[in-house]
């Protein structure tokens, strides 16, 4: 499984009503300093089954 697939797998598991930060997603993927890469991956996602809106910045912004 590559980095992008791991990110999507984690984001798909975020329950409705909950959020994670980009940094938390990166940490769960096993690459805690790759939070910008997580943001870039989610920014270019067009698959409606992946709830990208549940991933936010550390300061609480989208």
Catalytic annotation, residues: 52
Rounded (10°) angle between helices 35-43 and 22-29: 110
Q: Give burial (CB, 10 Å; 0-12/13-18/19+) of 28.
A: middle
């Amino acid at each position: 499984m590559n980095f992008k697939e791991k990110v999507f797998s984690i984001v798909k598991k975020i329950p409705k009503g909950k959020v994670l930060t980009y940094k938390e997603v990166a940490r769960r993927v096993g690459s805690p300093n790759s939070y910008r890469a997580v943001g870039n991956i989610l920014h270019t996602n067009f698959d409606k089954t992946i709830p990208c809106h549940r991933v936010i910045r550390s300061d609480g912004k989208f």
